[in-house]
Amino acid sequence: MQFVPKNIHYHEAIQEVLLNQNFMKHIGFELTKIEPGAIEGKLNFQGFLKQQSGFLHGGAIATMADLVCGFAAYSLVAEDEFVVTSDLKISYLNPGVGAVILAKGWVIKAGSRMFFCEGEILDASSGTPIAKASATMVLLPKPMTS
């Protein structure tokens, strides 16, 4: 589905938000594709992201899904707005393995106050699906800063 962003400078707006995204920097997640209503990113699987079984921690998987779905919605909002997650559902399909993990998120319906998004997490080398996501993002005005 083709979406038209309300902010023609959406790409720059996302890049500005990324400067302060410390959690993304901490886990090493980076966005690799930014389009209106569709975002992709990748994570190099590092040892500190492993759970006891050696697989990628479920929290890292959920975080990646939340990030790509959230930024997909954010790419469509006006300059004076932002989005927050109101609902996120993750279905874990296969253990998280692979040197590089991909995350894709896209808007399936953009409403006046809510964005309905889907996402998927994949092993980059094999294309094996690790998880599917469904998210609802709520539109809010940007807070006034003093």
Q: Which domains does the chain have, with CATH numbers?
A: 10-141 (3.10.129.10)
- Contact yes or no for 115/54 (Cβ under 8 A): no
Least confident of 3-12, 82-91, 127-136: 3-12
Q: Tell whether the model's pLDDT for residue 146 goes beyond 80.
A: no
**How many whole angstroms separate alpha carbon 26 and alpha carbon 1?**
33
Which two structure tokens, joined as six digits, stand for 69? Answer: 């779905």
Going by pLDDT thresholds of 50, 70 and 90, the confidence category of residue 144 is low
Q: Tell whether the model's pLDDT for residue 130 goes beyond 90.
A: yes
Question: What's the pLDDT score for residue 62?
Answer: 95
